[in-house]
Amino acid sequence: MDFCKNYPLPDWKAGFEHRSTSVSQLPYEEYTGILEKSASDTNDYRLIRLPNNLVVMCMQDSETETAAAALSVNVGSSMDPVELQGLAHFLEHMLFMGTEKYPDENEFSSFISEHSGDSNAYTQFSKTTFYLGVANDALEGALDRFSSFFTSPLFKRDCVDRELCAVDSEFKGLLTSDFWRSHQIECRLCSSDHPYSKFMPGNIDSLQQSAKDHGLDLHEELLKFYNKHYSSDIMKLVVCGNHALDQLVEWTVSKFSGIKSKGDNVQRIVDHPVTAEFLGKVVYYETVDETHDMRITFPVPDVKAMYRSDPFNYISHLINHEGQGSIMSHLKQKGWATSLGAYTNVGQDKGFGEFSVSIGTTPEGLEHYEDILKVVFAYVRMLVSSGPQEWVHSELSFQAKNGFDYKKKSGAVSQALSYMYLIFNEYVAPEHSLSKDSAYEEFDFDAILRCLSFVNPDNFRVFIGATKHKSIDCSEVEPYFGAAYHVASLSADLLSELASNNTHVDGLALPEKNDFMPTDFTIKNTNILGAAPVLRPTLLRLDDSLELWFKQDDQFSTTKGNIYLSINVPAVSSSPQNYIMSKLYCSMLGSDLDSELYNAACAGLRFGVYPTNNSIEIFVTGFSSKLAELLKTVVERTKSFKVDSTQLSVYMTELKQAYGNVVNSSPSCLCGFYTDYINKSSLWHYKLIESELPKVTLEKLQAHVDSLFDTSFIKMGMVGNFDEEEALKVAVSVQNIIKPSPNLGYLATKSRPFNFEPGYYLHQLQMPNNDCVNSAVECSIYCGQTAEKREVVLLEVLQELVHDSFFALASYQASARIQVEGESNPMFMTMHINKFIHDMQQHIADLTDEQFDNRVKSLIKLYQERMKNIDEEAGIYEGHVCANSYMFNTCDIKVGFLQSIAKTELLELWNRYVNPSTAAAYTRIDVQMWSTRIWKPTESDFKRYSAKTLALYGCMHSEGNVDLDIGKVDEFIATAIATRPEQVENNDDSESLMTELKSASLSVSGATYSPGKGAEMAAHTSAALALAAKDHETFGNYGSVSHTNFATIGMDKTPDGLWLMTDYKKFQATQKLYGLGVPAEVLVPKYSS
């Protein structure tokens, strides 16, 4: 199955010449050939190779304020030892834990965050990638720290347990992911001696426990793995910033040449993991989410060498098509499917591939999965009998070239990662290092037929996912994720029918030629290289039904544009039923548009229609010459939509599933949902919306659609390669179709924030998903509504500090990683948040002038950074217009304030709003989501015991101390800490406290605390005890700022002065609303109506 053997590797030796860096005269090699780059690409590039064979792409982007670097090494989970699965992922974590030059575990992350940056890493089957983004002036320091990961990592033994917990925590976060559950079943159902069968993420059991079972020292094995596999010869690096290329090369050569060269030690895989014994099967598996999925998979060769003809791209394009005659069109008409995706999964250096057709089915469609198979194979037979069509390839090649020549610019990190992906393919020639995805020029008739030959009834298996399967007992269990599944052989009669040329499906056909392909690439602004760009749109028209904003491109020299409509419609969500009908309408309309306008999407145009709380939003974007035509079609279909009974049934089921699946969201997501519900008066609770769904009928929905725009107001923006005359004509066209009636001001619904009464409020809930082991806390401290722009800027600086400092200050206090979401109990998390709030004041005060200036300078550069493309520019303008603020010069205003800001102002702001000891109107709402897997206090417990008691008892309970009495724990805290105030104050009595805790009688029967269930849980208990001892510093009497007796609406107060919010709607009803903001300017249109 090795296609690549017929394609020789490109010569990466020829075309490189010896060079020396301009300052240090360090040796390297530079590619002197021509790098093919986009005509619209203003960046400069240099492709080099270091003496240790590390290939590097240096990129100068003179317009970016953010620099980036990305390094990939050709080592992934495929190289994990069988007895230590997840080792490559664990190694990825450990590389961040200090180096010889920078031994502090926090040094790298602190440096990156202090310079408005971010970093991350991920491990895949055959490679591991590390990347960072940082302010340009900090790039050298970032590269110095980054390179030391690979030249001199410490791999501290005392970090092993903590990072193991981090890996295990990541794994547990995936336990309810249907993607990972099905993926691991797929890995299990292949050759057991193939690397693909391994467990990629890793966990405590596959690493720590397995090492013990095999008599191995995990730390020593980690060192062996790194020393054996991490070689510069199999690494690729991309570095980008606004510095001169000579400077980027200087830094790169000096800092990365020290990575050891150990030769090309990549594990070459030639066998396919899915052998004949696994084909011809149907695999039923149970999902967590209420969903119905069908995935047909075909083992295929490694075809990455064929990027110039890319035959599977041809096949995927036709199977993916949604227009008339397509597979998807046929399945929609039957009411069997809502989505379809065909794609090839050929990872870099995998040595094998998989072609998949993934179908989101309806419940009825899943019952007809055999009929769906017949449709798919009938379509493939039609492709074979019709033969490869050169005109189809020509359209795809034209689209790829246009996408490359007129691609929109992205951020530095995105560019670094995308170019990393390109140069990592060993079959890509040096000259195609930037253009590989557009080098789709060769029409290879035979290669397409060869690839089609793998998409046959003798070479597939099908995976079917649902929460429950009729008449199928999923009795087998995948050991890591616990996913239930069952494997059965497809019937011989079905396979015979699928292979038969006599099986025919009416209506299947190749798509029509694409009329949406752009032909006019004229740029309308002829003075684009003249004056500085105008960074605001012009109001062309304003009347009682339309507000039209326009901005001609004057900075990107692009042939693209963006048109957006925000149609204010009071009826869109005036009730839960109206909202769900609006959702149904937009879902069904979107499905129809996807089918009718699929060619537009193929031509590089995008469009969408969706509801918000007060409007129907429409957008079209892409090549400007076709956008007016596309918008007219979208708006006409939006206005004249007719409800189809089959599709109504399909999308009612889909929405029912979507709302039902909310309960399977992560704890942090659910905390976010409830925080939004509490904060926003206009949001309907998802359960309330779900309850209205069965009441929707075809007649009700059609009446809702027909009358939706009776009272409406259109806000419209056109940004890009247009002129004013075109904008005015398009606006008239839209008005003539929508026919908006004047929308009276009092009907123009806008979401207004609550002006909460000062106090500390707690809303605690239990996770609806019993399988989730994590809990979460979301803490919101309110600073009120202010028109003082300087204060807004100060709050943004504070937000930057809080976001970056929380993990630096709070995460290591307990010798464990305490996150917003984790396995610890929410009261324990809350105690850490309170300690952070207490410590943050001193952290701000201790910032050196240089550290503070670096923060401010980074924010200034962020606000001064140029917009990268038309869509970003249009999105910024749309945000200001739809919010009625019209403050288009926000960034300039913020920069002006930042240039004169002082640290003392920041401290004053912190004390005014965030510090509970000094904030006169301290206002805070915590939302806690408790896992069902841990002890949760009763309502009586919350009312009776302090947070420190609940946190400590919860930690001990999680260790297995289930017989302890919470009242006794409360007594211990009160007596033990009260008798040693001086020692507690000096923080020098933690060991004595722990000793006393272990010997204290904490139940009626005399039971004592006994550490158990691992070091992490014991560390939680120790930390909870330490926090309880210092609680007088972090917990004040919050009740002193609240003057209303909320007990009359069923709320109770805790010993710490918090109000327990059991019914947030009752609480909301007692609170005031803020008014809407005042526009920044008087609106005066350029033209009268």
Cα(582)–Cα(528) distance, rounded to whole angstroms?
42
Which range is least confidently modeled, 215-219, 250-254, 410-414, 1034-1038?
1034-1038
Q: 760 φ, ψ to 5°?
A: -115, 120
How many angstroms separate the CA atoms of 305 and 325, rounded?
A: 32
In the structure encoding, which two tokens stand for residue 557, read together?
């020299």
- Bigger pLDDT: 92 vs 781: 92
Does an H or E element contain 338, and which?
Answer: strand 337-345
CATH number among 3.30.110.60, 3.30.830.10, 3.50.50.60, 3.65.10.10, domain 538-747: 3.30.830.10
pLDDT of residue 552: 96
pLDDT of residue 1013: 66
Weakest mean pLDDT among 105-114, 136-145, 179-188? 105-114
Selection from 648, 658, 564, 572 nearest residue 611 by Cα: 572
- Report the percentage of the chain scoring pLDDT > 90: 73
Q: What is the pLDDT of residue 810?
A: 39
Question: CA torsion angle for 1023, 1028, 1031, 1037 (degrees, to 10)?
Answer: 130
**Rounded average pLDDT over 656-685:** 92
Distance in angstroms (rounded) separating the CA atoms of residues 42 and 557: 11
What average pLDDT does the segment 799-819 reach?
A: 46
Sign of CA dihedral 813, 818, 823, 826: positive
Say yes or no to pLDDT of 1 above 70.
no
Instruction: Give residue 746's pLDDT.
Output: 46
Mean pLDDT throughout 489-517?
A: 93
Residues 6+ apart with CB under 8 A from 345: 353, 354, 355, 356
Q: Of the given ranges (170-174, 215-219, 795-799), which has the lowest mean pLDDT?
A: 795-799
Residue type, 242: N
Structure tokens at 120: 């991350």
Q: List C-alpha distances in Å: 713 to 575, 741, 923.
A: 19, 7, 37
Mean pLDDT, the chain, as a whole number? 91
Judged against a pLDDT cut of 90, whether residue 247 lies above it is answered with: yes
Place of tokens 């620099």: 67
Band the pLDDT of 989: cuts 50, 70, 90. Answer: low
Structure-block tokens of residue 1073:
């609303």
For residue 819, the model assigns a pLDDT of 38
Q: Does 772 have pLDDT greater than 80? A: yes
Among all chains, which residue has been given the structure tokens 């060991």?
A: 991
Q: What mean pLDDT do residues 398-411 have?
A: 90
The band of 800, judged by pLDDT with boundaries at 50, 70 and 90, is confident
Where does 276-388+443-499 sit in CATH, by number?
Answer: 3.30.830.10
What contacts 448, CB < 8 A, 6 or more positions away? 309, 311, 314, 315, 388
At the fourth CATH level, which superfamily is domain 755-1069?
Metalloenzyme, LuxS/M16 peptidase-like (3.30.830.10)
pLDDT number for residue 158: 92
Residue 805: what pLDDT?
56
Between 1004 and 38, where is the model more confident?
Answer: 38
642 pLDDT above the threshold of 80: yes
**How far apart are alpha carbons 865 and 1014 in whole angstroms?**
48
Report the share of the chain in percent with pLDDT over 70. 94
Helix (H) or strand (E) holding 1029: helix 1014-1029
Convert the pLDDT of each residue in 1040-1062 to its tens digit. Answer: 667 899 999 999 999 999 999 99
Mean pLDDT of 886-908: 92
Q: Which amino acid is at 338?
A: T
Buried/exposed 86-109: b ≥16 CB within 10 Å, e otherwise: bbbbbbbbbbbbbbeebeebbbbb
What count of other Cβ atoms lies within 10 Å of the Cβ of residue 858?
24
Mean pLDDT on 711-715: 93
Domain definitions of the chain by residue range = 80-120+141-230, 276-388+443-499, 538-747, 755-1069
Asked whether the beta carbons of 265 and 228 are under 8 A apart, the reply is yes
Convert the pLDDT of each residue in 728-766 to its tens digit. Answer: 999 999 999 999 887 655 455 567 889 999 999 999 999
Average pLDDT over residues 957-965: 92
3-state secondary structure of 723: coil
Tokens at 143, concatenated: 């590269």
Statement: residue 1014 has pLDDT above 80: no
Say if residue 577's pLDDT is above 80. yes
pLDDT of 324 strictly over 60: yes
Where does 124-262 show beta strands of DSSP type E? Answer: 128-135, 235-241
Greater confidence, 874 or 106?
Answer: 874
What is the tens place of the pLDDT at every residue in 103-130?
999 899 999 988 889 999 999 999 999 9
The DSSP string of 282-294 is: EEEEE-SSS-EEE
How sure is the predictor about 817, in pLDDT bands with cuts at 50, 70 and 90? very low
Mean pLDDT confidence for 446-453: 96
What pLDDT score does 1029 carry? Answer: 84
What's the CATH class of domain 80-120+141-230? alpha beta
Residue 1036 confidence (pLDDT): 56
pLDDT, tens only, 10-30: 889 889 999 999 999 999 999
Alpha-carbon span 69 to 413, nearest angstrom? 7
738 and 765 Cβ atoms separated by less than 8 Å = no
Average pLDDT on 287-315 reads: 94
711 DSSP 8-state letter: S
pLDDT > 60? residue 349: no
Share of the chain residues as helix, strand and coil, in percent rounded to the nearest 5? 45, 15, 40
pLDDT band with cut points at 50, 70 and 90 for residue 47: very high
Query: Is 538-747 in the same CATH topology as 80-120+141-230?
Result: yes
